[in-house]
Protein backbone atom coordinates (compact mmCIF):
# COMPACT_ATOMS: atom_id res chain seq x y z
CA UNK A 1 0.00 0.00 0.00
CA UNK A 2 1.45 3.37 -1.02
CA UNK A 3 1.60 6.48 1.15
CA UNK A 4 -1.16 8.02 -0.94
CA UNK A 5 -3.40 5.02 -0.38
CA UNK A 6 -2.80 5.20 3.37
CA UNK A 7 -3.61 8.91 3.35
CA UNK A 8 -6.88 8.30 1.50
CA UNK A 9 -7.72 5.50 3.89
CA UNK A 10 -7.12 7.82 6.85
CA UNK A 11 -9.30 10.52 5.27
CA UNK A 12 -12.12 8.03 4.70
CA UNK A 13 -11.85 6.90 8.32
CA UNK A 14 -12.09 10.51 9.51
CA UNK A 15 -15.07 11.13 7.21
CA UNK A 16 -16.91 8.31 8.93
CA UNK A 17 -16.30 9.72 12.43
CA UNK A 18 -18.75 12.12 14.07
CA UNK A 19 -17.49 15.52 15.33
CA UNK A 20 -17.81 14.30 18.92
CA UNK A 21 -15.71 11.22 18.19
CA UNK A 22 -13.05 13.38 16.57
CA UNK A 23 -12.98 15.71 19.57
CA UNK A 24 -12.60 12.88 22.06
CA UNK A 25 -9.93 11.24 19.90
CA UNK A 26 -7.96 14.49 19.88
CA UNK A 27 -8.45 14.88 23.63
CA UNK A 28 -7.13 11.35 24.25
CA UNK A 29 -4.08 11.97 22.06
CA UNK A 30 -3.37 15.16 24.00
CA UNK A 31 -3.72 13.53 27.42
CA UNK A 32 -1.56 10.55 26.46
CA UNK A 33 1.14 13.00 25.41
CA UNK A 34 1.50 14.60 28.85
CA UNK A 35 -0.28 12.38 31.41
CA UNK A 36 -0.87 13.14 34.29
CA UNK A 37 0.16 16.77 33.68
CA UNK A 38 3.51 18.51 34.06
CA UNK A 39 4.30 20.26 37.35
CA UNK A 40 6.68 23.17 37.96
CA UNK A 41 7.71 24.44 41.39
CA UNK A 42 4.77 26.87 41.27
CA UNK A 43 2.41 23.97 40.50
CA UNK A 44 3.75 21.88 43.38
CA UNK A 45 3.46 24.75 45.86
CA UNK A 46 -0.08 25.34 44.69
CA UNK A 47 -0.93 21.68 45.28
CA UNK A 48 0.41 22.05 48.83
CA UNK A 49 -2.05 24.91 49.40
CA UNK A 50 -4.84 22.86 47.81
CA UNK A 51 -4.36 20.17 50.42
CA UNK A 52 -3.69 22.44 53.38
CA UNK A 53 -6.67 24.70 52.66
CA UNK A 54 -4.56 27.81 53.40
CA UNK A 55 -5.05 29.40 50.00
CA UNK A 56 -2.45 31.98 49.00
CA UNK A 57 -2.88 34.87 46.60
CA UNK A 58 -1.44 32.70 43.81
CA UNK A 59 -4.57 32.19 41.70
CA UNK A 60 -6.91 31.28 44.60
CA UNK A 61 -9.93 30.61 42.37
CA UNK A 62 -7.90 28.06 40.43
CA UNK A 63 -6.72 26.59 43.75
CA UNK A 64 -10.34 26.25 44.87
CA UNK A 65 -11.27 24.49 41.61
CA UNK A 66 -8.32 22.16 42.05
CA UNK A 67 -9.40 21.49 45.62
CA UNK A 68 -12.88 20.50 44.45
CA UNK A 69 -11.42 18.19 41.80
CA UNK A 70 -9.22 16.53 44.43
CA UNK A 71 -12.39 14.91 45.80
CA UNK A 72 -12.70 13.11 42.46
CA UNK A 73 -9.07 12.27 41.77
CA UNK A 74 -5.90 13.38 43.55
CA UNK A 75 -3.02 15.07 41.77
CA UNK A 76 -2.71 17.14 38.60
CA UNK A 77 -4.67 14.89 36.23
CA UNK A 78 -8.16 16.37 36.81
CA UNK A 79 -6.78 19.89 36.29
CA UNK A 80 -5.16 18.71 33.06
CA UNK A 81 -8.53 17.40 31.90
CA UNK A 82 -10.30 20.61 32.91
CA UNK A 83 -8.01 23.08 31.18
CA UNK A 84 -7.57 21.01 28.01
CA UNK A 85 -11.27 20.10 27.84
CA UNK A 86 -12.36 23.72 28.13
CA UNK A 87 -9.86 24.65 25.44
CA UNK A 88 -10.85 21.90 23.02
CA UNK A 89 -14.63 22.00 23.35
CA UNK A 90 -14.72 25.78 23.74
CA UNK A 91 -12.73 26.28 20.56
CA UNK A 92 -14.98 23.79 18.76
CA UNK A 93 -18.05 25.78 19.81
CA UNK A 94 -16.43 28.95 18.43
CA UNK A 95 -15.29 27.40 15.15
CA UNK A 96 -18.75 25.90 14.50
CA UNK A 97 -19.83 29.47 13.75
CA UNK A 98 -17.67 29.51 10.62
CA UNK A 99 -16.89 25.83 9.83
CA UNK A 100 -18.84 22.65 9.28
CA UNK A 101 -19.11 20.58 12.50
CA UNK A 102 -16.56 17.93 11.45
CA UNK A 103 -14.11 20.54 10.15
CA UNK A 104 -14.51 22.51 13.39
CA UNK A 105 -13.74 19.40 15.44
CA UNK A 106 -10.64 18.54 13.40
CA UNK A 107 -9.39 22.13 13.52
CA UNK A 108 -9.92 22.45 17.29
CA UNK A 109 -8.04 19.21 17.92
CA UNK A 110 -5.26 20.29 15.58
CA UNK A 111 -4.80 23.62 17.38
CA UNK A 112 -4.67 21.90 20.79
CA UNK A 113 -2.01 19.47 19.55
CA UNK A 114 0.05 22.13 17.76
CA UNK A 115 3.38 22.05 19.69
CA UNK A 116 3.56 25.77 20.68
CA UNK A 117 0.01 25.48 22.09
CA UNK A 118 0.45 21.96 23.50
CA UNK A 119 3.64 22.82 25.40
CA UNK A 120 1.86 25.21 27.79
CA UNK A 121 -1.50 23.40 27.90
CA UNK A 122 0.37 20.34 29.25
CA UNK A 123 1.51 22.16 32.41
CA UNK A 124 -0.64 22.90 35.45
CA UNK A 125 -0.43 26.69 35.53
CA UNK A 126 -2.98 29.54 35.65
CA UNK A 127 -2.13 30.43 32.03
CA UNK A 128 -3.48 27.27 30.33
CA UNK A 129 -6.57 27.33 32.55
CA UNK A 130 -7.06 30.96 31.54
CA UNK A 131 -6.80 30.02 27.86
CA UNK A 132 -9.27 27.17 28.29
CA UNK A 133 -11.71 29.34 30.26
CA UNK A 134 -11.45 32.14 27.68
CA UNK A 135 -12.32 29.84 24.79
CA UNK A 136 -14.93 27.94 26.79
CA UNK A 137 -16.51 31.17 27.97
CA UNK A 138 -16.58 32.75 24.51
CA UNK A 139 -17.97 29.58 22.96
CA UNK A 140 -20.73 29.33 25.58
CA UNK A 141 -21.59 33.04 25.37
CA UNK A 142 -22.11 32.75 21.59
CA UNK A 143 -25.00 30.37 22.25
CA UNK A 144 -28.41 32.04 22.12
CA UNK A 145 -29.67 30.24 25.23
CA UNK A 146 -29.53 32.18 28.49
CA UNK A 147 -28.18 29.24 30.49
CA UNK A 148 -25.15 28.91 28.26
CA UNK A 149 -24.54 32.66 28.38
CA UNK A 150 -24.44 32.45 32.18
CA UNK A 151 -21.95 29.57 31.93
CA UNK A 152 -19.90 31.71 29.57
CA UNK A 153 -19.84 34.57 32.06
CA UNK A 154 -18.69 32.26 34.85
CA UNK A 155 -15.89 30.84 32.70
CA UNK A 156 -14.70 34.30 31.67
CA UNK A 157 -14.67 35.29 35.36
CA UNK A 158 -12.47 32.24 36.05
CA UNK A 159 -10.10 33.38 33.29
CA UNK A 160 -9.98 36.86 34.86
CA UNK A 161 -9.22 35.31 38.24
CA UNK A 162 -6.33 33.33 36.74
CA UNK A 163 -4.77 36.37 35.08
CA UNK A 164 -6.42 39.75 35.90
CA UNK A 165 -4.32 41.30 33.11
CA UNK A 166 -6.49 39.54 30.52
CA UNK A 167 -9.41 41.89 31.23
CA UNK A 168 -8.66 44.08 28.18
CA UNK A 169 -8.45 40.99 25.98
CA UNK A 170 -12.02 40.01 26.98
CA UNK A 171 -13.54 43.18 25.51
CA UNK A 172 -13.34 41.98 21.84
CA UNK A 173 -15.38 38.92 22.86
CA UNK A 174 -17.96 41.04 24.64
CA UNK A 175 -18.36 43.26 21.58
CA UNK A 176 -19.24 40.19 19.50
CA UNK A 177 -21.65 38.74 22.06
CA UNK A 178 -23.55 41.97 22.87
CA UNK A 179 -26.53 42.44 20.48
CA UNK A 180 -25.99 44.95 17.71
CA UNK A 181 -27.15 48.47 18.46
CA UNK A 182 -25.71 52.01 18.32
CA UNK A 183 -21.92 51.59 18.50
CA UNK A 184 -21.41 53.65 21.66
CA UNK A 185 -24.20 51.84 23.50
CA UNK A 186 -22.84 48.48 22.43
CA UNK A 187 -19.34 49.45 23.56
CA UNK A 188 -20.63 50.71 26.90
CA UNK A 189 -22.56 47.50 27.55
CA UNK A 190 -19.56 45.36 26.57
CA UNK A 191 -17.17 47.27 28.81
CA UNK A 192 -19.69 47.23 31.64
CA UNK A 193 -20.08 43.44 31.41
CA UNK A 194 -16.31 42.93 31.39
CA UNK A 195 -15.80 45.26 34.35
CA UNK A 196 -18.53 43.46 36.27
CA UNK A 197 -16.93 40.08 35.63
CA UNK A 198 -13.52 41.49 36.56
CA UNK A 199 -14.80 42.86 39.85
CA UNK A 200 -16.51 39.56 40.61
CA UNK A 201 -13.26 37.69 39.94
CA UNK A 202 -11.27 40.00 42.23
CA UNK A 203 -13.83 39.67 45.01
CA UNK A 204 -13.68 35.87 44.70
CA UNK A 205 -9.86 35.99 44.87
CA UNK A 206 -10.01 38.21 47.95
CA UNK A 207 -12.59 36.02 49.69
CA UNK A 208 -10.62 32.81 49.08
CA UNK A 209 -7.17 34.14 50.04
CA UNK A 210 -6.05 33.02 53.49
CA UNK A 211 -2.32 33.76 53.28
CA UNK A 212 -1.31 36.88 51.33
CA UNK A 213 2.23 36.40 49.96
CA UNK A 214 2.20 39.62 47.89
CA UNK A 215 3.40 37.52 44.99
CA UNK A 216 2.25 39.82 42.19
CA UNK A 217 3.93 42.85 43.77
CA UNK A 218 7.18 40.98 44.26
CA UNK A 219 7.23 39.46 40.80
CA UNK A 220 6.54 42.67 38.89
CA UNK A 221 7.50 45.64 41.03
CA UNK A 222 10.76 44.33 42.50
CA UNK A 223 12.20 43.54 39.06
CA UNK A 224 10.95 46.81 37.56
CA UNK A 225 12.37 48.95 40.37
CA UNK A 226 15.80 47.30 40.37
CA UNK A 227 15.98 47.37 36.56
CA UNK A 228 15.17 51.09 36.48
CA UNK A 229 18.05 51.84 38.86
CA UNK A 230 20.42 49.62 36.90
CA UNK A 231 19.53 51.19 33.55
CA UNK A 232 19.82 54.66 35.10
CA UNK A 233 23.34 53.67 36.25
CA UNK A 234 22.69 54.79 39.82
CA UNK A 235 25.91 54.38 41.83
CA UNK A 236 25.29 56.23 45.08
CA UNK A 237 24.19 54.07 47.98
CA UNK A 238 22.09 56.93 49.38
CA UNK A 239 20.07 57.12 46.15
CA UNK A 240 19.54 53.34 46.23
CA UNK A 241 18.36 53.41 49.83
CA UNK A 242 15.97 56.24 48.96
CA UNK A 243 14.64 54.28 45.98
CA UNK A 244 14.07 51.22 48.20
CA UNK A 245 12.58 53.10 51.14
CA UNK A 246 10.49 50.87 53.38
CA UNK A 247 11.67 47.62 51.80
CA UNK A 248 13.41 44.84 53.78
CA UNK A 249 16.98 44.95 52.45
CA UNK A 250 19.04 41.77 52.78
CA UNK A 251 22.39 43.47 53.48
CA UNK A 252 22.87 47.23 53.44
CA UNK A 253 26.67 46.93 53.50
CA UNK A 254 26.74 45.22 50.08
CA UNK A 255 23.72 47.00 48.58
CA UNK A 256 25.70 48.79 45.87
CA UNK A 257 27.47 45.63 44.69
CA UNK A 258 24.22 43.68 44.53
CA UNK A 259 22.22 46.36 42.73
CA UNK A 260 24.92 46.99 40.11
CA UNK A 261 25.78 43.31 39.62
CA UNK A 262 23.87 43.10 36.34
CA UNK A 263 22.75 45.30 33.45
CA UNK A 264 19.05 44.48 33.86
CA UNK A 265 16.56 42.55 35.96
CA UNK A 266 14.34 40.23 33.93
CA UNK A 267 13.66 37.77 36.75
CA UNK A 268 12.56 38.68 40.26
CA UNK A 269 13.63 35.43 41.96
CA UNK A 270 17.39 36.10 42.36
CA UNK A 271 16.53 39.58 43.62
CA UNK A 272 14.57 38.21 46.59
CA UNK A 273 15.96 34.67 46.96
CA UNK A 274 19.38 33.10 47.33
CA UNK A 275 22.73 34.27 48.72
CA UNK A 276 22.98 37.23 46.33
CA UNK A 277 19.49 38.61 46.97
CA UNK A 278 18.93 42.33 47.40
CA UNK A 279 15.69 42.10 49.40
CA UNK A 280 14.06 39.82 51.89
CA UNK A 281 10.61 38.57 50.90
CA UNK A 282 7.80 41.01 51.58
CA UNK A 283 5.57 39.78 54.38
CA UNK A 284 3.45 42.73 55.58
CA UNK A 285 0.94 45.19 54.15
CA UNK A 286 3.25 48.10 55.02
CA UNK A 287 6.12 46.60 53.04
CA UNK A 288 3.80 45.92 50.09
CA UNK A 289 2.56 49.52 50.19
CA UNK A 290 6.16 50.79 50.34
CA UNK A 291 7.10 48.65 47.33
CA UNK A 292 4.16 49.98 45.32
CA UNK A 293 5.10 53.57 46.23
CA UNK A 294 8.78 52.98 45.33
CA UNK A 295 7.75 51.38 42.03
CA UNK A 296 5.52 54.29 41.02
CA UNK A 297 8.13 56.84 42.09
CA UNK A 298 10.86 55.10 40.08
CA UNK A 299 8.69 55.03 36.95
CA UNK A 300 7.69 58.70 37.23
CA UNK A 301 11.23 59.87 38.02
CA UNK A 302 13.00 57.75 35.37
CA UNK A 303 10.44 56.92 32.63
CA UNK A 304 13.09 56.35 29.94
CA UNK A 305 14.82 53.67 32.00
CA UNK A 306 11.45 52.06 32.71
CA UNK A 307 10.51 51.92 29.02
CA UNK A 308 13.92 50.51 28.10
CA UNK A 309 13.53 47.81 30.73
CA UNK A 310 10.02 46.87 29.62
CA UNK A 311 11.18 46.82 25.99
CA UNK A 312 13.98 44.42 26.98
CA UNK A 313 11.41 42.29 28.80
CA UNK A 314 8.99 42.10 25.86
CA UNK A 315 11.82 41.40 23.40
CA UNK A 316 12.95 38.47 25.51
CA UNK A 317 9.37 37.24 25.90
CA UNK A 318 8.75 37.42 22.14
CA UNK A 319 11.97 35.54 21.40
CA UNK A 320 13.64 38.50 19.68
CA UNK A 321 16.52 38.43 22.17
CA UNK A 322 17.73 36.02 24.83
CA UNK A 323 17.67 32.24 24.88
CA UNK A 324 15.04 31.30 27.44
CA UNK A 325 13.83 27.68 27.37
CA UNK A 326 10.26 27.75 25.94
CA UNK A 327 9.32 24.15 26.84
CA UNK A 328 8.57 22.81 30.32
CA UNK A 329 7.99 19.05 30.40
CA UNK A 330 8.97 17.93 33.90
CA UNK A 331 6.83 16.16 36.50
CA UNK A 332 8.37 18.33 39.21
CA UNK A 333 11.27 18.23 41.63
CA UNK A 334 11.33 14.80 43.27
CA UNK A 335 12.07 16.10 46.80
CA UNK A 336 9.27 18.65 46.53
CA UNK A 337 6.77 16.17 45.10
CA UNK A 338 7.51 13.34 47.57
CA UNK A 339 5.48 14.84 50.48
CA UNK A 340 2.57 15.19 48.05
CA UNK A 341 2.73 11.44 47.36
CA UNK A 342 2.91 12.15 43.66
CA UNK A 343 5.32 10.32 41.38
CA UNK A 344 5.04 10.11 37.62
CA UNK A 345 7.21 8.84 34.80
CA UNK A 346 6.89 9.41 31.08
CA UNK A 347 5.52 6.72 28.77
CA UNK A 348 7.09 6.01 25.39
CA UNK A 349 4.27 8.02 23.82
CA UNK A 350 5.14 11.00 26.03
CA UNK A 351 8.83 10.71 25.25
CA UNK A 352 7.98 10.80 21.56
CA UNK A 353 5.80 13.87 22.12
CA UNK A 354 8.63 15.55 24.02
CA UNK A 355 11.03 14.93 21.15
CA UNK A 356 8.52 16.40 18.70
CA UNK A 357 7.77 19.49 20.82
CA UNK A 358 11.43 20.17 21.62
CA UNK A 359 12.31 19.75 17.97
CA UNK A 360 9.72 22.32 16.91
CA UNK A 361 10.86 24.60 19.76
CA UNK A 362 14.13 25.13 17.87
CA UNK A 363 12.24 26.76 15.01
CA UNK A 364 10.61 30.22 14.75
CA UNK A 365 7.24 28.56 15.51
CA UNK A 366 8.10 29.02 19.20
CA UNK A 367 8.89 32.73 18.86
CA UNK A 368 6.19 35.14 19.99
CA UNK A 369 7.16 37.83 17.47
CA UNK A 370 5.98 35.58 14.64
CA UNK A 371 2.47 35.45 16.13
CA UNK A 372 2.32 39.22 16.54
CA UNK A 373 2.79 39.46 12.77
CA UNK A 374 0.32 36.64 12.12
CA UNK A 375 -2.26 38.15 14.49
CA UNK A 376 -2.17 41.42 12.58
CA UNK A 377 -2.59 39.50 9.32
CA UNK A 378 -5.51 37.53 10.79
CA UNK A 379 -7.25 40.74 11.88
CA UNK A 380 -7.03 42.07 8.32
CA UNK A 381 -8.10 38.80 6.69
CA UNK A 382 -10.99 38.10 9.08
CA UNK A 383 -13.06 41.18 8.18
CA UNK A 384 -16.05 38.98 7.26
CA UNK A 385 -15.64 36.67 10.26
CA UNK A 386 -16.15 38.75 13.45
CA UNK A 387 -15.75 35.70 15.72
CA UNK A 388 -12.32 34.84 14.31
CA UNK A 389 -11.35 38.49 14.21
CA UNK A 390 -12.22 38.84 17.90
CA UNK A 391 -9.91 35.91 18.67
CA UNK A 392 -6.97 37.51 16.87
CA UNK A 393 -7.61 40.92 18.43
CA UNK A 394 -7.88 39.37 21.89
CA UNK A 395 -4.52 37.63 21.56
CA UNK A 396 -2.81 40.77 20.31
CA UNK A 397 -4.35 42.96 23.02
CA UNK A 398 -3.17 40.55 25.71
CA UNK A 399 0.40 40.65 24.37
CA UNK A 400 0.35 44.45 24.36
CA UNK A 401 -0.87 44.33 27.97
CA UNK A 402 2.08 42.11 28.83
CA UNK A 403 4.40 44.98 27.86
CA UNK A 404 3.45 46.47 31.21
CA UNK A 405 2.51 43.44 33.30
CA UNK A 406 4.78 40.52 32.29
CA UNK A 407 6.78 39.70 35.45
CA UNK A 408 9.30 37.51 33.56
CA UNK A 409 10.00 36.76 29.89
CA UNK A 410 8.47 33.28 30.14
CA UNK A 411 7.02 31.68 27.01
CA UNK A 412 3.74 31.03 28.81
CA UNK A 413 2.96 34.77 28.87
CA UNK A 414 2.74 34.67 25.06
CA UNK A 415 0.60 31.54 25.07
CA UNK A 416 -2.76 33.28 24.71
CA UNK A 417 -1.44 35.30 21.75
CA UNK A 418 -0.22 32.07 20.11
CA UNK A 419 -3.35 30.03 20.85
CA UNK A 420 -5.79 32.74 19.75
CA UNK A 421 -3.83 33.53 16.59
CA UNK A 422 -3.52 29.86 15.61
CA UNK A 423 -7.25 29.36 16.15
CA UNK A 424 -8.14 32.41 14.05
CA UNK A 425 -5.78 31.55 11.20
CA UNK A 426 -6.73 27.86 11.18
CA UNK A 427 -10.40 28.82 11.09
CA UNK A 428 -9.82 31.18 8.17
CA UNK A 429 -7.81 28.59 6.22
CA UNK A 430 -10.26 25.73 6.73
CA UNK A 431 -13.28 27.96 6.00
CA UNK A 432 -12.08 28.32 2.41
CA UNK A 433 -12.96 24.66 1.85
CA UNK A 434 -15.34 23.60 4.64
CA UNK A 435 -17.30 26.66 5.63
CA UNK A 436 -20.41 26.33 7.78
CA UNK A 437 -23.71 25.99 5.92
CA UNK A 438 -27.21 26.92 7.04
CA UNK A 439 -28.48 24.17 9.29
CA UNK A 440 -25.07 23.05 10.58
CA UNK A 441 -25.22 22.44 14.29
Among 200, 197, 206, 203, smallest CA distance to 169 is for 197
What is the pLDDT averaged over residues 201-224?
A: 94
User: What is the model's pLDDT at position 440?
Assistant: 58
**What stretches of 4-134 adopt beta strand conformation (E)?**
none
The more confident residue out of 436 and 166 is 166
Which residues lie closer than 8 Å to 157 by C-beta, 6 or more apart? Answer: 197, 198, 200, 201, 204
Residue whose C-alpha is closest to residue 301's, from 231, 252, 402, 250: 231
* pLDDT (tens digit per residue) in 8-27: 777 777 777 889 999 999 99
pLDDT in tens, 338-385: 888 888 889 999 999 999 999 999 999 999 999 999 999 999 999 999
The pTM assigned to this predicted structure is 0.94
Residues of the chain with pLDDT > 90, as a percent, come to 81
Q: pLDDT class for 193, splitting at 50, 70, 90? A: very high
As a whole number of angstroms, the distance between CA 264 and CA 257 comes to 14
Q: What is the pLDDT of residue 15?
A: 72
pLDDT at 387: 96
* pLDDT > 60? residue 438: no
User: So what's the pLDDT on residue 339?
Assistant: 86
In this predicted model, what pLDDT tens digit does every residue of 102-161 receive, in sequence order? 999 999 999 999 999 999 999 999 999 999 999 999 999 999 999 999 999 999 999 999
**Section 62-82 average pLDDT:** 95
Sign of CA dihedral 35, 395, 370, 367: negative
Burial class of residue 229 (count of CB atoms within 10 Å of its CB; 0-12, 13-18, 19+): buried
Amino acid sequence: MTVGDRAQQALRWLAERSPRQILFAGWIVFVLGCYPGYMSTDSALQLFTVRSGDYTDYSPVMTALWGALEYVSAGPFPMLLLQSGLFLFGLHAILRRVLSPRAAALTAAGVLLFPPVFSVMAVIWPDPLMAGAMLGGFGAALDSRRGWKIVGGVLIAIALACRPEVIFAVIPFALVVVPKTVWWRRAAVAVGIVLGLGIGARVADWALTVDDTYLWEQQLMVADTVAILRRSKIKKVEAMEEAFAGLPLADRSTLKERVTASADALNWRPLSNGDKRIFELITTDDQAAALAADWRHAIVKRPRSYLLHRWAMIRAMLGISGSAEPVYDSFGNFDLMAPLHHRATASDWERGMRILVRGVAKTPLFRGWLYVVLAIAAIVLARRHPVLRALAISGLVYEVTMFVFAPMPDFRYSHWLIAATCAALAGLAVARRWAARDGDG
